């Protein structure tokens, strides 16, 4: 049986959280579904909005957990178990306040970096060796650790213009990950928008 891929964008459900910085993961998944014409539906059992995508010969499930950020692992765990997703076919998309807006970073593993959604996923899976794509949202002051109001705020008009480019590049990177693997996806797309794109190497 062909492996099933699962891409989960982290965020908070509800109108009041739409287009906030902390919902960057949701925004990336919305851009994926828009590009490929996917149809979303609510799956109460999976505690998620889900959409099906067929890409490069792969069966792919997209998910936006409806559990709120701090309990994201509950939805991820259910999806992984139900669809029997291998750890190498799982990718989590999340915002990162330690990356400047306009930066994209895909990693094969790593710590949560204090991100409560990633902490929840790591706790539920019992490991940190899963791929995660981080969308830079920056922070007001690098010395400030308490940034709840900032991450739950909406992007400004100026930020939205740059974010639009970031979302397109994030989707390009996810497609590369599914088609060519994580190493090529990291080499080709990690970094800042506007920076020279590295030449693809075999």
Asked whether 117 and 70 are in contact (CB, 8 A), the reply is yes
Residue 191's contacts (CB-CB under 8 Å, 6 or more residues apart) are 103, 104
Assess if residue 167 is contained within a domain. Answer: yes
* Within a domain: 42: yes
Q: Is residue 202 part of a domain?
A: no
200 within some domain: no
Query: Is residue 177 in a domain?
Result: yes
- Residue 201 covered by a domain: no
Domain for residue 178, yes or no? yes
Q: Judge contact between 188 and 105, C-beta under 8 A.
A: no
- The per-residue pLDDT string of the chain (202 residues; one tens digit each, 9 = 90 and over) reads 688 999 999 999 999 999 999 999 999 999 999 999 999 999 999 999 999 999 988 999 999 999 999 999 999 999 999 999 999 999 999 999 999 999 999 999 999 888 999 999 999 999 999 999 999 998 766 545 556 788 899 999 999 999 999 999 999 999 999 999 999 999 999 999 875 555 544 3
Among residues 46, 45, 6, the alpha carbon closest in space to that of 29 is found at 6
Q: Print the domain residue range for 152.
A: 4-192
User: Domain total for the chain?
Assistant: 1
Kindly list the catalytic residues: 22
Distance of CA 153 to the CA centre of its chain: 18
CATH assignment at residue 21: 3.40.50.1470
């Amino acid at each position: 049986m062909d492996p099933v891929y699962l891409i989960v964008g982290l965020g908070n459900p509800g109108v009041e959280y739409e287009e906030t910085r902390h919902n960057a993961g949701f925004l990336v998944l919305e851009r994926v579904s828009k590009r490929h014409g996917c149809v979303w539906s609510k799956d109460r059992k999976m505690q998620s909005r889900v959409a099906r995508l067929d890409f490069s010969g792969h069966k792919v499930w997209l998910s936006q957990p409806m559990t709120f950020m701090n309990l994201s692992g509950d939805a991820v765990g259910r999806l992984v178990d139900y669809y029997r997703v291998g750890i190498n076919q799982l990718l989590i998309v999340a915002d990162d306040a330690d990356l400047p807006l306009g930066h994209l970073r895909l990693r094969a593993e790593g710590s949560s970096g204090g991100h409560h959604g990633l902490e929840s996923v790591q706790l539920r899976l019992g490991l940190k060796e899963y791929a995660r794509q981080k969308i830079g949202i920056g922070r007001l002051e690098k010395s400030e650790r308490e940034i709840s109001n900032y991450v739950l705020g909406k992007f400004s008009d100026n930020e939205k213009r740059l974010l639009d480019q970031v979302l397109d590049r994030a989707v390009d990177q996810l497609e590369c990950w599914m088609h060519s693997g994580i190493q090529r996806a990291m080499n080709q797309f990690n970094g800042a928008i506007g920076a020279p794109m590295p030449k693809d190497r075999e």
